[in-house]
């Protein structure tokens, strides 16, 4: 899928200073330079065509916290299974290899967000909220990979974890300015402070971790939907990017991951809806579904 990079490479590309600053920061941040160990092990099992459900079960069982979360998620309304899942082996068989991998990898990565710092907690809430919104929005499109959309939403602000390590005060200052001025350009403010934006950082981490190029594209370019729509990348990738972009917009309006809801955010007259063609009536329903799902499900990933 290298053609994805070719089509998108010129959109908000980093200058030499930004590239050097980002590489330097990643090299200094050892715990973010590589995918978490348990996630790497899970991916190795999944990518081996000879692997069995038992092989995957054995790897996941080595992490008790992850095992408990997977069982909790498998038994939630998140997947709506009719029968209770009592064992990890049954969870793997019922939910499926790919979904288990997506949940496990995402849960491992989400551990990077957690701390007692109020700002980190808000970032974690944003990640969960946008992931849930992406899953709900993806159901509007028959050919969209719901699991990939969910994971893209979970990881959309991954780059901010890296930036928090570099200069937490600068990140918080940008967040506070956005709270006061919804028109403030988040990416430009970040580039002023760091020479790169959270989308650059998140996309680079995902590429370094050898996750799917389509996932990198969604994380890296969800803030550049109008430009993306002019490229020749596959329609399913454009849809996923639009879903992540709109999910972020929706969570901002609802106040998920923010100090307060922002009613000034337009959920109807925006590039995402112009592209996705979702009716105003359905938008209201989706907003209610996201609020309810976030209330019910956010602690599944805690």
Read off the pLDDT of residues 257-266 as tens digits, 9 standing for 90 and up: 998 999 999 9
Give the tens place of pLDDT for each residue, 45-85: 888 888 888 888 888 888 888 888 778 877 776 666 656 77
Q: What local confidence, expressed as pLDDT, does residue 285 receive?
A: 97
Give the tens place of pLDDT for each residue, 237-259: 999 999 999 999 999 999 999 98
Q: What local confidence, expressed as pLDDT, does residue 245 receive?
A: 97
H or E segment and range at residue 85 = none
The residue to which tokens 């909220």 are assigned = 129
92: pLDDT confidence band, cut at 50, 70 and 90? confident
DSSP single-letter state for residue 301? G
**Mean pLDDT of the region 108-127:** 80
Q: Checking phi first, is residue 288 left (phi over 0); if not, alpha (psi -120 to 50) or beta? A: alpha
* Residue 140 confidence (pLDDT) above 90: yes
Residues 6+ positions from 255 with CB-CB distance below 8 Å: 261, 262
Q: What local confidence, expressed as pLDDT, does residue 74 receive?
A: 74
**Mean pLDDT of the region 155-184:** 87
Of 301, 299, 22, 286, give the one whose Cα is nearest residue 133.
Answer: 286
Residues 6+ positions from 191 with CB-CB distance below 8 Å: 18, 197
CA distance 243 to 247: 6
Average pLDDT of the chain, as a whole number: 86
């Amino acid at each position: 899928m290298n053609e994805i990079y070719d089509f998108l490479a010129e959109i908000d590309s980093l200058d030499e200073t930004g590239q050097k600053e980002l590489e330097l920061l990643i090299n200094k941040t050892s715990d973010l330079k590589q995918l978490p160990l348990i996630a790497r092990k899970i991916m190795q099992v999944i990518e081996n065509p000879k692997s069995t459900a038992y092989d995957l079960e054995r790897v996941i069982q080595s992490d008790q916290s992850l095992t408990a979360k997977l069982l909790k998620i498998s038994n939630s309304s998140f997947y709506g299974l009719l029968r209770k899942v009592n064992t990890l082996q049954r969870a793997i068989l019922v939910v499926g290899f790919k979904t288990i991998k997506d949940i496990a990898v995402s849960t491992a990565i989400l551990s990077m967000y957690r701390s007692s710092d109020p700002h980190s907690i808000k970032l974690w809430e944003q990640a969960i909220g946008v992931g849930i919104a992406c899953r709900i929005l993806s159901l509007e499109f028959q050919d969209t990979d719901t699991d990939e959309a969910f994971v893209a939403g979970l990881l959309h602000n991954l780059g901010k974890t890296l930036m928090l390590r570099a200069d937490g005060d600068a990140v918080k200052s940008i967040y506070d300015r956005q709270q006061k001025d919804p028109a403030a350009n988040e990416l430009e403010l970040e580039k002023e402070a760091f020479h790169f934006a959270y989308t650059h950082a998140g996309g680079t981490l995902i590429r370094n971790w050898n996750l799917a190029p389509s996932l990198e594209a969604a994380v890296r370019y969800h803030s550049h939907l109008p430009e993306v729509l002019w490229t020749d990348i596959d329609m399913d990738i454009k849809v996923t990017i639009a879903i992540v972009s709109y999910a972020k917009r929706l969570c901002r309006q609802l106040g998920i991951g923010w100090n307060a809801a922002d009613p000034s955010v337009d959920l109807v007259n925006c590039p995402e809806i112009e592209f996705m063609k979702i009716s105003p009536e359905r938008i209201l329903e989706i907003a209610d579904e996201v609020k309810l799902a976030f209330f019910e499900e956010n602690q599944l990933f805690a």
